[in-house]
Amino acid sequence: MNAIISASDLVKDLDSARPPVLLDVRWQLSAAKAAGEPPFDGRTAYEAGHLPGAVYVDLDRELASAPGKGGRHPLPDLAQFGTAMRRAGVSAGTPVVVYDGGQGWAAARAWWLLSWTGHPDVRVLDGGLPSWEGPLETSVPAPAEGDFVPEPGVTGLLDADAAAALARSGVLLDARAGERYRGEVEPIDPVAGHIPGAVSAPTTENVGADGRFLPAGELRERFGGLGVREGSRVGVYCGSGVSAAHEVLALAAAGIPAELYVGSWSEWSSDPDRPVAVGPDPQ
């Protein structure tokens, strides 16, 4: 099943006999705090207008645990995650479509978590809210309680040691901006650079100017140019496991399974004993 859905196809699905549950996961990482400005408030944006019937999901509180040794966005407690999903009306037998403000990172994090914990039918709205041409609503729905119980997947998740090993034995992609990979700047985490052996693969290059994913063939060509071959084991990390989920989604759209290092650079760089590489080359 394609993990991405267009706005036009979503309209059809919402009118079908089996409409999807809609999750609004608007979130963004910004420098507002450092600039003395108020941070982006996803719930306020949701209450100002959202897809009809959509339920708001808070990435920081419901799709991640509190920042700590595991990074800035560690895995959430799965019992709490399950409670949040059931509150939103998510059931194992009902399709789910997630969207955000257009960047796609937060929606991809929700897609990855639901998929990794066993939901069989989750898709991301390509282009997010800006791609939607239908009406919006401001009322907050009260969906019937869902029955989804998350169970951790046996594959698909990397820890720091597994990511380091994969950088040597397979293909480990760094989804952050190139200047952060090269160690030229680091606006958030304590150390600049990348995991030795990782390949620079900014997730922003998986989409076109309109914010929608490139066609599957173009994505396969892009990842092939980064060293991904048929049968390659592929992993992805970023700053805190959010934009990397978007790259895992792009790989899925290209027909390439990939694993996510959720702790990502925020976890890796917090340990002074872990090696750091700088410059344009993997090593």
Kindly list the distances between the CA atom of residue 277 and the CA atoms of 29, 71, 137, in Å, as whole numbers in the listed order. Answer: 25, 19, 48
Per-residue CA distances from 8 to 46, 114, 133, 141, 192 (Å): 21, 23, 9, 23, 42
Residue 115 backbone dihedrals phi, psi, to 5 degrees: -65, -45
| Backbone Cα Rg of the chain | 18
Closest residue by Cα to residue 127 from 97, 103, 98: 103
* Extended strands (E) in the chain: 4-5, 21-24, 55-56, 96-99, 122-125, 157-158, 171-174, 199-200, 234-237, 259-261
Q: Given 238, 248, 249, 251, which residue is catalytic?
A: 238
Contacts of 142 (CB under 8 A, 6+ apart): none
- 192 Cα distance to chain centroid: 22
CB neighbourhood size of 40 (10 A): 14
238 is catalytic: yes
d(CA 201, CA 226): 7
Residues catalogued as catalytic: 238
